[in-house]
Amino acid sequence: MGTFATGVTVVTGVDGGEPVGFTCQSFASVSLTPPLVLFCADHRGRSWPRIRAAGRFTANVLAEDQTELCARFGSRAGRKYEGLGWDLSRWGTPSLPGVLARVHAEITAVHGAGDHDVVIGRVLAVETGRETRPLLFFRARFVKTAAAAPSSGRPRPLPS
């Protein structure tokens, strides 16, 4: 699966008053009506059961220059939020700084699939952040994309 490039998110939540989170490459839009997203979480992870118990999450979409943030939340060692400026969203989930977007959602379904859970979330709100390139993971490393023109906010047709 390493030949499929993926964007990188950090899925965050709060359990028992403590912020938790993990780096996640398996995040996608599922439906526009109703607005649904999904992510996959490893059964062995320590943060996922706590986010599940809380019932809400934020998927923070990382920018190309946020590899340190990716590593921080991808590690089992250390305190992920220590020394990190972050805000609590109005939905009670951590919003990380400098990200491309934040998708705030409520867990509506969890489906076991092998050693992971497929988590479906109903989107409560989407916040856009700065306009820059995304953090992409491909063949076990981060890759850079070509610079893109600023978005007009309207979809453009693909060339045939």
> pLDDT tens across 81-130, in order?
999 999 999 999 999 999 999 999 999 999 999 899 999 999 999 999 88
Domains along the chain with CATH numbers = 6-143 (2.30.110.10)
**Cα torsion 129, 103, 3, 154: sign:** negative
At 53-92, the pLDDT tens digits run 999 999 999 999 999 999 999 988 778 999 999 999 999 9
Instruction: Tell me the mean pLDDT in the region 26-37.
Output: 95
The answer to whether residues 120 and 110 touch, using CB atoms and an 8 Å cutoff, is: yes
Q: What percent of the chain has pLDDT over 70?
A: 84
Cis peptide before 150 (omega within 30 of 0): no
